[in-house]
Amino acid sequence: MSLLMMCGELQEKSRTKPRPEEQTETGVSLRRLIASAFTGLHRKILEQGGEYVLKGGRGSGKSSFVSVELWLTLLRHPNMHAVVLRRVGNTLRSSVFTQLQWAAGALGIEQMCRFTLSPMEAVYEPTGQKILFFGMDDPGKLKSLKVPFGYPGVLWFEELDQFEEEQVRSTEQSVLRGQGPFYCFKSFNPPPLEQHWVNRWTRTPRPGRQVHHSDYTQMPASWLGEKFLDDARFLKQENPRAYRQEYLGIPAGLGDSIFDNIAAEPIKDREIRRFDRIMAGVDWGFYPDPWAFNRIHYDAARQTLYIFCELTCYKTVNRETAQKIKNLGVGPKEQITADSAEPKSVEDYREQGLFCRGAVKGPGSLGYSFHWLQGLRRIVIDPDRCPDTLKEFLEYRYERGKDGKVLPGYPDRNNHHIDAVRYATEPVWGRRGNQ
């Protein structure tokens, strides 16, 4: 039996079997690809089109499930194409593009698929159906969307919380047009704030909308690996609130405090000498805003950031702050990432013999850098070496509206060392998400 025929019969068989057990012609069982937590949702998708919202924490299987269902949906509807979206285009290749390559291989159809990067698309060659990939930071490309035949019938918003609500609404209206049927998948990790638009939106019932929540405890342990499970257990013990947010996908309700993973602990000289991943960042300032500098070490295995050095200056020119940095022992090979809003200042540091580069401030970078910092197990700040930095992190709070509710977003005040730390860590978080 071909995969296409199998998909056509799946609805009828699902009425009599508690879980899908059909196999592709290559012997791949759908049960091995679709976790039992998604069985009910899988059957819904077989029955009808609609809006399918999948939320959950790390390892919850939602992206893998959507990638499999997207292919199966196209195979059931040979006149249909798919559009896959992320907020920022340069994150597509390392996320959804790779995920759909995996799904094609897992379904045994990779030999019938052609994946290209320019343009970024996947083509199912027996029918010519396409999966098209777009970033919302280049809306012009999406507006010029064309398919060779049929219509775009599948839409996938990955990391929905990174989009603006209006972006989602207008994209659906422009892409999903015609007779249908239509399938709109939306996957995301719930952000911490209950008042974030995507958390409010999922609580609002709507005809045709299916909301599904999963977490890693519902996935087969063999899919996750012992390292993942050990990390989850450790965070559950060390920081229960962060565990609920990251691994269970439950908005943690941070209240006013933006960072709840701060540890004020002395960092000894002998520890610093063992640090092997030291990075530095600069937030430019003069007066009344200060110039801020930080050196940090990131321990990836422990998901812990150590902040062990700071400098804070007012009314100090670049030549003098550069010298202060060199006096700390920062050599010409240690990278300093600085605010790119002042390219002349970056060039001044280079002329002073420092290895300085401007931060990449692309769409979504601010939000992603904060999410990354908030998701760390611990941010250890030496209170004696870095008092200004510690004060900023502890006192940095969300704003509240007139109704007293916490507002989404990150206030742009009293965050100079926080920004320096964000810039310093860009080589880490910038490879994992938005830039």
Same domain, 129 and 266: no
Same domain, 218 and 273: no
Residue 36 lies in a domain: yes
Same domain, 100 and 194: yes
| Residue 370, helix vs strand vs coil | helix
Residue 125 lies in a domain: yes
Residue 34 has a pLDDT of: 92
CA gap 308, 323 in Å, rounded: 19
Residue 56 lies in a domain: yes
Length, in residues, of the chain: 435
CA gap 17, 323 in Å, rounded: 73
Last residue of a domain, one of 210, 226, 242: 226
Same domain, 32 and 149: yes
Same domain, 122 and 59: yes
Per-residue exposure over 85-114, b if at least 16 CB sit within 10 Å of its own CB, e if not: bbbbbbbbeebbbebbeebbebbebeeebe
Residue 361 has a pLDDT of: 81
CA gap 343, 323 in Å, rounded: 19
Residue 235 lies in a domain: no
Q: How remote is the C-alpha of 345 from its chain's centroid?
A: 31
Residue 238 lies in a domain: no
Structure tokens at 197: 């638009």
Total domain count for the chain?
2
Q: Which phi and psi (to 5°) does residue 109 adopt?
A: -115, 10
Residue 242 lies in a domain: no
Q: Are 130 and 150 in contact, with CB atoms under 8 Å apart?
A: no
Q: How remote is the C-alpha of 155 from its chain's centroid?
A: 18
Report DSSP state, residue 59.
Answer: T
Q: Are 362 and 135 in contact, with CB atoms under 8 Å apart?
A: no
Q: Which residues are catalytic?
A: 159
Residue 17 has a pLDDT of: 41
Domain that holds residue 201: 3-226
The kind and range of the H/E element at 93 are: none
| 340 beta partners | none
Domain holding 151: CATH number?
3.40.50.300
Same domain, 321 and 176: no
Residue 19 has a pLDDT of: 43
Residue 162 has a pLDDT of: 85
Residue 335 has a pLDDT of: 93
pLDDT tens sequence for the chain (435 residues): 444 444 444 344 434 443 444 555 446 688 889 999 999 999 999 999 999 999 999 999 999 999 999 999 999 999 999 999 998 888 899 999 999 999 999 999 999 999 999 999 999 999 999 999 999 887 777 877 889 999 999 999 999 988 888 889 999 988 998 778 999 999 999 887 766 788 888 888 788 899 999 999 999 999 999 999 999 999 888 878 788 888 999 886 655 778 878 888 899 999 999 998 999 999 999 999 999 999 999 999 888 999 999 999 999 999 999 999 999 999 888 999 999 999 999 999 999 999 999 998 877 788 889 989 988 888 999 989 999 999 999 888 888 777 767 777 888 889 999 999 999 999 988 764 433
CA gap 92, 181 in Å, rounded: 26
Residue 257 lies in a domain: no
Residue 180 has a pLDDT of: 80
In which order are the strands placed within the sheet that holds 304-313? 262-264, 378-381, 304-313, 291-299, 278-283, 335-338, 355-358
Last residue of a domain, one of 226, 254, 272: 226
Question: CA angle, 157 as apex, 117 and 102 as ends, to 5°?
Answer: 50
Residue 43 lies in a domain: yes
Same domain, 121 and 28: yes
Last residue of a domain, one of 200, 226, 252: 226
| 312 beta partners | 292
The pTM (predicted TM-score) of the whole model is 0.64
Same domain, 280 and 345: yes
Same domain, 286 and 379: yes
Domain holding 319: CATH number?
3.30.420.280
